[in-house]
Chain A
């Protein structure tokens, strides 16, 4: 229960940061993608199932405020949370290389998916243009923010796991 509330708060805060705060810090009207960091981080920290759910809710937030059809981003973020769960066995809290790599990969794949489904299919074939002007700048900016955001999420998760272990011991 406690975990659910705290995760919900994390998603909310990140959503607000992404929609209201970072646009004023936008470089060349590019803002970082914090939701992908949340979805991806919980995917590899907690496994496929939790990644899937958190990804879904992150996507839903994005869906709600994007003005497009509901469900597209939810689906996309859900897959991202899920596939990051495959790396749960390889994940160690001390190692920052794998998380960074996974988040970068997730952001790249996510944006490529958005491009293919929302732009390529509408006959906008200048992929290189979108790669250079949207996808790569967003990737770099997201990675810069990840350095801070990931550490915060990691610490919160470790704290939660500690509390959960303690209460589990109490019951036994």
Chain B
């Protein structure tokens, strides 16, 4: 015990010396590279700011509710109806755009009877989020007993949410398109150029967007705001489901392809109800 005490006394002296040295070095670095206290502030900021933002959002949400309590129900009902209308119209618009493109360019290649939103769908409620903060997935309350199978596409409103990756009798796990490992073949509606959409945890937490790449657009016709839908070349996804709108675009260093980010059409933070498309993509492999 005695020995330990003396030992710790010596080591604490050393510790003091070491810490003094660390402080001096930190100050010198701060002066020479002009980043005074930078890392500490940064760490504190990155640890606490996201939470403060969260708390603020809850606070804002509550005060918002309190302010508009009297006409809340009217507005909510109206909002609901309008949202439904927007979803319907967006789907319709996409269909029309796609159909026009088809008529103009590929009349002889496509079967004219093909109609995109005529899929059988089943509505499901989101009952839980996947564990952990690394991968975006969630659980829905419909499973194999309701005809849900792995590989079926999942929509919310008019936009693509993801794909069923696991099925239980009364639940299914949906791997969303913003999941870091997700890849979707997409198509720009305005120019019918194909691209690949990648889910990205980093882009999602920075700017609520997902990445895309391999866009072969030689004439630079694709612009910010253009809608992107699932492509006919996709292996897993039905054709013509809205993924989102291009929010950023730049030419790759190879000067051949372009890449950028897409703002998803679905608000992934607040998904409560989804639609599972019961038709699975038929590919030549089947």
Using a CB–CB cutoff of 8 Å, the interface residues on chain A facing chain B are 15-16, 18-20, 23, 26-31, 33, 35, 61-62, 64-68, 73, 111, 114-115, 118-119, 122, 124, 126, 129-130, 132-134, 136-138, 140-141
Binding site secondary structure of chain B: mixed
In chain B between 260 and 277, which residues have their CB closer than 8 angstroms to a CB of chain A? 269
A66–B202 CB distance below 8 A = no
Contact (Cβ within 8 A) A132 B46: yes
B128 within 8 A of A: yes
For A27, the chain B residues whose CB sits under 8 A away are 50-51, 53-55
Cα distance A141–B52 in the bound complex, in angstroms: 12
| Complex Cα gap A62–B54 (Å) | 25
Interface string of B14-56 (1 = CB under 8 A from A): 0000000000000000000000000000110011001101110
- A65 contacts B134, CB within 8 Å? no
List of A residues within 8 angstroms of B175 by Cβ: 67
Is the Cβ of A30 less than 8 Å from the Cβ of B133?
A: yes
Task: Tell me which of B42, B46, B131 has the highest count of chain A C-beta atoms within 10 A of its own C-beta.
Answer: B131
With A19-B139, A129-B202 as known contacts, state yes or no: A134 contacts B134, CB within 8 Å: yes
Contact yes or no, B129 A31, CB < 8 A: yes
Q: Is the CB of B132 within 8 A of A114?
A: yes
Residue of A nearest to B162 (CB): A67
Minimum CB–CB distance for A105 against chain B, Å: 17
- Asked whether any CB of chain A lies closer than 8 Å to the CB of B233, the reply is no
Contact A114 B134 (CB under 8 A): yes
Q: How far is the CA of A57 from the CA of B139 in the complex (A)?
A: 19
A31: B residues at CB distance < 8 A: 129, 132-133
Q: In the complex, which residue of chain A has the Cβ closest to the Cβ of B205?
A: A133
- Contact yes or no, A119 B50, CB < 8 A: no
Complex contact A28–B46 (CB within 8 A) = no
Chain B residue at smallest Cβ distance from A62: B131
Across the interface, do A67 and B174 meet the contact criterion of CB distance under 8 Å? yes
Selected from A26, A29, A65, A118, the residue in CB contact (under 8 A) with B131 is A65
Which 8 pairs of residues, A with B, have the shortest CB-CB distance? A27-B54, A28-B50, A19-B128, A132-B46, A67-B165, A67-B173, A67-B137, A23-B129
Q: B53 is contacted by which of A23, A28, A61, A111 (Cβ under 8 Å)?
A: A28
Contact A33–B135 (Cβ < 8 Å): no
Chain B residues, Cβ within 8 Å of A137? 46-47, 50-51
**B133 near A136 (CB under 8 angstroms)?**
no
On whether the beta carbons of A29 and B47 are closer than 8 Å, the reply is no
